[in-house]
Structure 1
Amino acid sequence: MISRMLEEKLDALSRMMAEHMANPFPPGFRGLDIEGRDMVMLDADAYSYAAGVLEGPLSEQHRAGLTRLTSVFEKVLPAIDDEYATKYYTHVRDMAGLAAEIESLHGK
């Protein structure tokens, strides 16, 4: 049961990552910091953690990093003042959230 659910979530994460790569980075967000976070690095970190989850369970250090990263979106998203960028980073948040959910299933 968990194995099938895990496979479905991994497939969904893979699709989300492909969708993410197909979307252009928000104009004007390169070099921009919001709530103390570099927006390029936020994007790259989320994608990197998601890619790591697809490869298998994360180390404890990376798992903690993913948990910290998912909480950053609670500060950053409300501070974004651009419709496209809000949609873009909401997708990034959802991708990181699904990665964290999958990571929690790896331990079961």
Structure 2
Amino acid sequence: MSEPSVQVQNAGRLWHEHLHTPFPASLRGVEFGDTDMVLLDTETAGCVITWLDNGGVLDPERTRILQGCIENLDRVIPQITELAGAQYYERLRQLALLVSRALSSTK
């Protein structure tokens, strides 16, 4: 099996876990700086699911959005005080990093 296929499968498993975890209610409507937590979740998830649906390919615009999401995740995760919220966003960050690394390895 090729490396991109393995990366897509690994991300698929982590994505499945993420989908079955409810959004942390305590972060609904919360902003850290100019980052809305619901929007950050939506944008990151949209890039991940597009990459999965396209078999490991992401267009340049979504790649740019994903990089911005990673920067925002790195900035906001340390500010999340609730364990469930921190775990939720850390898993989302892991997904985003996995996709980003996979994209970098195919260049």
How does the TM-score come out when normalised to structure 1?
0.88
Q: Which has the higher contact order (CA 8 A, sep 6+)?
A: 1
Measure, in 2, the Cα distance between the counterparts of 1:81 and 1:40.
Answer: 16
How many pairs are equivalent? 105
Report the equivalent of 2:94: 94
Give ranges in structure 1 of 5+ residues lacking alignment.
Answer: none
How far residue 24 of structure 1 moved from its aligned partner, in angstroms, is 1.0
Is the 1:33–1:39 contact (alpha carbons within 8 Å) kept by the matching residues of 2?
yes
Report the equivalent of 2:85: 85
Runs of 4+ in 1 over 3 A off after TM superposition: none
- The AA in structure 2 aligned to 1:95 is L
Give ranges in structure 2 of 5+ residues lacking alignment.
Answer: none
Measure, in 2, the Cα distance between the counterparts of 1:49 and 1:70.
Answer: 11
Measure, in 2, the Cα distance between the counterparts of 1:59 and 1:83.
Answer: 33
Measure, in 2, the Cα distance between the counterparts of 1:78 and 1:57.
Answer: 30
Give aligned-pair identity as a percent: 25
Measure, in 1, the Cα distance between the counterparts of 2:96 and 2:19.
Answer: 14
Question: Which deviations, in whole Å up to 9, do the C-alpha atoms of 1:46-86 show, x marking residues without a partner?
Answer: 11101111214222222111111111111101111111101
Is the 1:6–1:102 contact (alpha carbons within 8 Å) kept by the matching residues of 2?
yes
Matches within 5 A, 1:1-108: 4-54=2-52, 55=54, 56-107=56-107
Measure, in 1, the Cα distance between the counterparts of 2:48 and 2:59.
Answer: 13
Is the 1:53–1:102 contact (alpha carbons within 8 Å) kept by the matching residues of 2?
no
**Superposition RMSD on alpha carbons, in Å?**
1.4
Is the 1:34–1:80 contact (alpha carbons within 8 Å) kept by the matching residues of 2?
no
Measure, in 1, the Cα distance between the counterparts of 2:31 and 2:5.
Answer: 36
Measure, in 2, the Cα distance between the counterparts of 1:42 and 1:65.
Answer: 10
